Amino acid sequence: MARPAGVRNTDYEEKRAALVNRLTDYLLSDDIQLPSFRQLAIAAETSQPTLNHYFGGRTGAIIAVIEELANRSTATRDRLRLPAETVSEAVDQYTTIAIQLGKDNAYLNSHVLSIREGMTDPRIFEAYNTLLVEPGVAAIAERLVHSKGGPANYGSALTAAHMLMSSSMFMALRKKLLGTVTVDIQREITLIGNWLKHGMLNDPDGANLA
pLDDT: is 139 or 31 the higher one?
Answer: 139
pTM of the model: 0.87
Residue 204: Cβ-neighbour burial (10 angstroms; 0-12, 13-18, 19+) = exposed
CA–CA dist 196, 7 (Å, integer): 54
CA–CA dist 88, 201 (Å, integer): 9
User: Which domains does the chain show, CATH number per domain?
Assistant: 12-70 (1.10.10.60), 73-204 (1.10.357)
User: Among the listed ranges 27-31, 86-90, 156-160, 200-204, which one has the minimum average pLDDT value?
Assistant: 200-204
pLDDT digits (tens, 9 = 90+) for 86-104: 999 999 999 999 999 988 9
> Closest by alpha carbon to 138, among 161, 160, 118, 122?
161
Across the range 63-84, mean pLDDT stands at 95
Confidence of residue 8 (pLDDT cuts 50, 70, 90): low
HSE of 86 in the Cβ direction (CA atoms, 13 Å)? 7
Q: Is the pLDDT of residue 80 over 90?
A: yes
pLDDT digits (tens, 9 = 90+) for 127-165: 999 999 999 999 999 999 999 888 888 998 999 999 999
Q: Is the pLDDT of residue 205 over 70?
A: no
pLDDT: is 205 or 121 the higher one?
Answer: 121
Contact 179, 70 (CB under 8 A): no
Please report the pLDDT score of residue 7 as a whole number.
52
